[in-house]
Chain A
């Protein structure tokens, strides 16, 4: 038998799993074992490979499919076997729906076939949010309600250039003149307010979608539709029988 070639630590580490699986050839195995005898770090790596194998065996169990999934699959299969079209919780023909409907569903991560009631509730809530945006903008920008806006007005007023005494009463004196600095500052403040409004509405939309829609509306609606269908299924079958 030819002598095994010397291996580097990296090559040995590539061969540790094949070694444990018994997938190494005779010569290769001899070379790996020779290296392991001399290298403590690679021996420790072998121990780690052993540990990982144990962890993989105990830490990744097979799971059990929920019975509701099996029941739904068999129900649909039975319906299709009887010649009825697949009625998977669909209340209206999918083809009749406009494209925006599908895009909206995709955004809300809701399946039209899974929960039609929840879908309508979601659309209604979304329209409410859209309708509320102008009100939020007005509220935030209103000087009476916004303390920071009032404060900004108060601090900028004294900085305005005083009208010259010689032109008192003229239209030019009544309309105050602003320096480019003041205009730039006002623009910055307006941008900040708009950015804050956009941030708040984005965050609110996300929170409503994740927490209110999903937890309070979608799940209960889905369960309700499922139980209604389970109640309806035997009645449908009886109706179809001559």
Chain B
């Protein structure tokens, strides 16, 4: 019974967890590992989550989606910290390339523009943003989450979420001005 419920939750949330991991880590293989780890944490915490009143729909009591977003984000930050300390130990400074969007997915006609240079620049610019701008923008623009859902997932007031999204977009605008063919602002 529990296993069937878990399987349904995995099917419902796995793409969101993988997408968030991929955009935060910038590497498909690491994102796959992160997804596996996060989903197994869900399995091991499912009973206590239900006791706490979490549900799959996000109505009251804190949703599984919000819990998964928080755990995924924390796990990815840990991985990024480890990666940085390893690089420091080895004297390397180069960040990995932006992940290839078409490596595992068939992009389809609606996503054809994503594989373009602009899409690549956009993904790189987002990865270079500081927190919390990077996370709120991914959740809003990629995951298409509502302000309320983001607020719940990041445990942040809704107005702060809005301000962070607007500031993050402005930072992106400033970084991508040259790529998008606009002159520098006055």
Q: A69-B32, A74-B10, A77-B3 are in contact. Are A59 and B19 (CB under 8 A)?
A: no
A223: CB under 8 A from chain B?
A: no
The tally of CB-CB contacts under 8 A between chains A and B is: 146
A-side contacts of B114, CB under 8 Å:
58-61
Partner of A59, one of B32, B33, B119: B119
Range of interface residues on chain B?
35 or more
CB distance from B76 to the nearest CB of A (A): 14
B86: CB under 8 A from chain A?
A: yes
B7: CB under 8 A from chain A?
A: yes
Residues of A that sit less than 8 Å from B by CB: 9, 13-14, 16-18, 21, 23, 41, 44-45, 47-49, 51-53, 55-66, 68-70, 72-74, 76-78, 80-81, 106-107, 109, 111, 114, 206
Q: Describe A's contact surface by its main secondary structure.
A: helix
Return the chain B residue nearest A63 by Cβ.
B19
B residues 23-50 with Cβ under 8 Å of A? 23, 32-33, 35-36, 39-40, 43-44
**Distance of A60 Cα from B118 Cα, bound (Å):** 10
B residues 111-150 with Cβ under 8 Å of A? 111, 113-114, 116, 118-119, 122-123, 126, 137-138, 141-144
Residues of B that sit less than 8 Å from A by CB: 2-3, 6-7, 10-11, 14-19, 22-23, 32-33, 35-36, 39-40, 43-44, 82, 86, 89-90, 92, 101, 104-105, 107, 110-111, 113-114, 116, 118-119, 122-123, 126, 137-138, 141-144, 162, 165-167, 169-170, 172-173, 176-177, 180, 182-183, 185-186
**Distance of A57 Cα from B122 Cα, bound (Å):** 11
Return the chain B residue nearest A114 by Cβ.
B33
A-side contacts of B101, CB under 8 Å:
61, 63
